[in-house]
Amino acid sequence: MSTRRVVVTGLGALTPLANDFPGTWERLLRGESGIGPITAFDCTGYDCRIAGEVRNFDPASGFKNPKDVRRTDRYTHLAMGAAAEAWKDCGLQEGSFDADRAGVLVGSGIGGLRTLEEQHSILRDRGPKKVSPFMIPMMINNIASGHISMQYGLRGPNFAIVSACATASHSIGEGWRLIREEEADIIVAGGSEAAVVGLGLSGFAAMKALSTRNEEPTKASRPFDKNRDGFVLSEGAGVIVLEELNHAKKRGAKIYGEVAGYGATADAHHLTAPAPEGAGAARAMRIALQHAQLRPDQVGYINAHGTSTPQGDICETQAIKSVLGNHAKKTTVSSTKSHLGHLLGAAGSVEMAICLKALETGILPPTINLDEPDPECDLDYIPHKPREKKVDVVMNNSFGFGGHNACLVAKRLV
Instruction: State how far Cα 211 lies from the chain centre.
Output: 20
Give me the catalytic one of 48, 90, 165, 355.
165
* 24, 26, 187, 301, 326 from 20: Cα distances, Å: 6, 10, 20, 23, 38
**Distance in angstroms (rounded) separating the CA atoms of residues 112 and 375:** 40
Instruction: Collapse the DSSP code of 200 into the 3-class scheme (helix H, G, I; strand E, B; otherwise coil) and give the result.
Output: helix
Nearest Cα neighbor of 147 from 65, 88, 92, 91 is 65
Smallest Cα–Cα separation from 111: which of 170, 167, 62?
167
Q: Is 270 a catalytic residue?
A: no
What stretches of 153-296 show up as alpha helix (H) in DSSP? Answer: 167-180, 198-206, 245-250, 279-292
Q: How far from chain centre, in Å, is Cα 317?
A: 20
Catalytic annotation present for 165: yes
Annotated active-site residue 147? The verdict is no
Among positive and negative, which fits the CA dihedral 58, 62, 66, 71?
negative
Question: Of residues 170, 247, 291, 305, which has the active-site annotation?
Answer: 305
Q: Are 189 and 243 in contact (CB under 8 A)?
A: no
Angle, CA 394 vertex, CA 391 and CA 398 arms, to 5°: 155
* CA atoms of 130 and 146, how far apart (whole Å): 26
279-234-411 Cα angle (round to 5): 50
- Max Cα-Cα span within the chain: 64
Return the closest-CA partner of residue 25 out of 386, 392, 412, 408: 386
Give the Cα separation of 114 and 93 in Å (integer). 34
Catalytic residue, chosen from 48, 342, 404, 407, is 342
Residue closest to 189 by CA, chosen among 155, 248, 138, 149: 149
Q: Label the pairing between strands 301-303 and 332-334.
A: parallel
Q: Can you spell out the DSSP letters for 92-145?
A: --TTSS-GGGEEEEEE-SS--HHHHHHHHHHHHHH-GGGS-TTHHHHHSTTHHH
- Please identify every residue annotated as catalytic: 165, 305, 342
